[in-house]
Amino acid sequence: MIEFISVYFIRHKNEPKGGFVMQRLHTAPKVVGAKQTLDAIQNRMADVVYIAKDAQIHVTQKIIESAKQQQIPIVMVDTMKELGKFCKVYVGTATAAILKKKRRCKDANL
């Protein structure tokens, strides 16, 4: 059995439906899909991981375990269709991840 950690649904009363956590998917750099999400987690590039509740467990299990191991927040979304819509791909997706901001190099010439 899989135990979910750090599920965030932070919503201010004046926020649009879905809240800030979900709205970040529209504008933030992200990866969509199980393979890309797992790669981002393993390369320590994922800031927040999104998992669709109706996704097949064999697709999401390794992603959830990896995110839990690295203490990456996991946000559960009701359906794959809804997650895809928030990611602007307009097809269902099981997982997505917002990427960490790249650290800027002090010397722009490097």
Domain locations in the chain? Answer: 19-99
Question: Which 3 state secondary structure label does DSSP give 41?
Answer: helix
pLDDT at 101: 81
User: Where would I find the beta strands (DSSP E) of the chain?
Assistant: 30-32, 46-52, 74-77, 95-99
pTM of the predicted model as reported, rounded to 2 decimal places = 0.76
Q: Which residues of the chain have pLDDT under 50?
A: 1-16, 103-110
- Give the span between the Cα atoms of 92 and 86, in whole angstroms: 10
pLDDT at 105: 42
pLDDT at 16: 45
Tell the CATH topology of 19-99: 60s Ribosomal Protein L30; Chain: A; (3.30.1330)
pLDDT at 27: 82
For 63-79, write each residue's pLDDT tens digit. Answer: 999 999 999 999 999 99
Dihedrals phi, psi of 42, to nearest 5 degrees: -65, -30
